[in-house]
A and B are shown apart, each in its own frame.
Chain A
């Protein structure tokens, strides 16, 4: 590349320009995926159209799309605050599972409690379990600089094994005739519907606003930003870096845990090994695409939920496997990651360098 262009760092990229660059990247990724769809013998426009139709075509489909968006929004908010700290928390999936587990404990054992008491207790248990699941790797990261990426990921597998153990062992429903499933929750433990969708969507929107305020307008949020940019600066300014890391990741994991509580209570109405449906991983993509900015997260997540919901629809219409949607997600992020280069650097044709002109 350097033969034909020269690269210079730039800092003058306006928000508008950056948005244009990112959107063109998304369009390009859809074009690239379209070529792929064409190769496997389908009309890309028809496929995209039927995806849209599958996601937004009827009131029922819109509700389903939103149902998928809720855990994505909440988990993305949780991951975003960790990523701001440059703590690569990829353990959201496990934190969601542990949150669901904590909530399920109360739902299964205290099902006759009044909902007004039971639901908050379940939410609290979810936040606590998810938070602790995040805080364990954070503690070791803060104390010994233990690699948090792999640590948090390993915690996902451990959480999965714990739930598998419970589902096939101590928590197995004796009434299910040997079928390995955990009993369904009592009606008291189920989050009520508001305007046709479970109340989780209200929680997601409130959390979005709270997170925006927390990051942008509070001292704590400022500490997270500074520590993320440079731990040394933060230390020099007298901040307690270890405390910031552990507390922030507790919050990050706690938010994901809350998503788990909502999924268990309102969607599955029980606990099972596939409770997350991969939301903890998809949320990594959505929070990055949103530029880690809380207000953008719901928008991106609804689009992604539409893609997943539309993906199940084209599965039936075109006999395309659901993993096609996963490939599309990967492609979109690849293109956006590549496009960020043009936000940070400028390319100009080579051969006009100052040094060469001086030499002549």
Chain B
């Protein structure tokens, strides 16, 4: 395998990186949002529509993030304020997002991204780091959103493990009642991190429609949102491990395409199955290991209700 394969795996893994990270932040606050796929679709379509309408990459990304946050806001309102069932609310958000993308995306098929934006999203070689043999070609000759992804992962890691609000967030996710007693505003923490998750999922969708594909197709996410939810478990809710999960699956995503070159006698459609199959295998292996360390936040999925007299 040459460096171009690994460089392409990084690109294919970047939408997963944003989505997994977003879901980790959400789940750390004790909420499981199954609407990742829906929020990604909302971000993808708004990002693309804004790109076509304005030609401005910054506006397109901002639009995508806002769309993702809007989806997350609906989720937060229903699950935090109205204590609705988290699983069903998330599923509904995915159905809603799919409809939303179909509706907003009508007439976008076949449109192309303006050249000015293509330039903005083209690869930039990082000085010094980019000239390291192999590593430079794979990691540091990429587009601007790949670099932003590295930075967001590291910032989230530091935030979660080395800051006061990060500690509070973990407390909310582990035991909301105890956090409440300690004077932490539980609902506020949940809202903020669900919204942050939505912003990242919106960005993830925009990466797909603006850079990875880059054109509009009805089901642009193709289940990546769900794979992201599964990979949160694989990453054990640890932001740093997102690097492993996202880029491993990025590689898996493109391996079928690469294998075609070698004329292997397996149908393309069966190779396409691989990411979904591996996701299942990972889920099984992770669930078979019974070590407590790094496992799910204790309060995940449990709604918090302070009984008042």
Contact = CB atoms under 8 A, between A and B. Distances in A.
Contact of A288 (B88, B269, B276): B88
Contacts of B226: 150, 153-154
Nearest to A330: B96
B137 interface: no
Contacts of B101: 323
A331 interface: yes
A321 B276 contact: no
A51 B83 CA distance: 33
Interface stretch (A65-73, A124-132, A263-271, A339-347): A339-347
Nearest to A169: B267
A337 B98 CA distance: 19
A1 B81 contact: yes
Contacts of B2: none
B92 A330 contact: yes
A7 B309 CA distance: 9
A285 B102 contact: no
B265 interface: no
B85 A337 contact: yes
A109 interface: no
Interface stretch (A141-149, A219-227, A229-237, A293-301): A141-149
B262 interface: no
Contact of A146 (B81, B229, B284): B284
B287 A323 contact: no
A165 interface: yes
A158 interface: yes
A326 B272 contact: no
Interface string B77-92: 1100111110111011
B92 A334 contact: yes
B308 interface: yes
Nearest to B272: A161
B308 A337 contact: no
A158 B288 contact: no
A293 to B, nearest CB: 15
Nearest to A88: B87
Nearest to A324: B103
A284 interface: yes
B70 interface: no
Interface string B223-240: 100110110010000000
Given A337-B85, A353-B308, A146 B287 contact: yes
B267 A327 contact: no
B309 A353 contact: yes
Interface string B123-135: 0000000000000
Given A169-B269, A321-B102, A144 B284 contact: yes
Interface in B73-115: 74, 77-78, 81-85, 87-89, 91-93, 95-103, 106
B95 A330 contact: yes
Contact of B103 (A1, A162, A323, A355): A323
A284 B307 contact: no
Contacts of A282: 95
B84 A6 contact: no
Given A158-B277, A161-B270, A165-B267, A150 B230 contact: yes
Contacts of A145: 287
A165 B279 contact: no
B284 A330 contact: no
Contacts of A7: 305, 308
B280 interface: yes
B229 A164 contact: no
A353 B230 CA distance: 45
Q: Pick the most buried of B78, B267, B276: most chain A CB atoms within 10 A of its CB.
A: B276
Interface string B261-273: 0000001011011
Given A1-B81, A337-B88, A337-B89, A157 B99 contact: no
A168 interface: yes
B78 A165 contact: no
Nearest to A358: B309
A147 B223 CA distance: 16
Nearest to A326: B99
A157 B283 CA distance: 16
Interface in A183-207: none
Contact of B83 (A285, A324, A328, A344): A344
B295 to A, nearest CB: 11
Interface in B55-84: 74, 77-78, 81-84
Given A323-B106, A330-B92, A338-B82, 14 more contacts: A7-B308, A88-B87, A140-B283, A147-B230, A150-B229, A150-B230, A154-B280, A155-B280, A326-B95, A334-B96, A337-B84, A337-B92, A340-B84, A341-B82
25 contacts: A2-B308, A140-B287, A145-B287, A147-B283, A149-B229, A150-B229, A154-B279, A161-B269, A161-B270, A285-B92, A321-B102, A321-B103, A323-B103, A323-B106, A326-B102, A327-B99, A330-B92, A330-B93, A330-B100, A333-B88, A334-B78, A334-B92, A337-B92, A340-B85, A341-B83
Shortest 7 CB-CB distances between A and B: which pairs?
Answer: A330-B96, A323-B102, A326-B99, A327-B99, A165-B269, A337-B84, A341-B82
Interface of B: 34, 74, 77-78, 81-85, 87-89, 91-93, 95-103, 106, 223, 226-227, 229-230, 233, 267, 269-270, 272-273, 276-277, 279-280, 283-284, 287-288, 305-309
Interface of A: 1-2, 6-9, 88, 90, 140, 144-147, 149-151, 153-155, 157-158, 161-162, 164-165, 168-169, 281-282, 284-285, 288, 321-331, 333-334, 337-338, 340-341, 344-345, 353-355
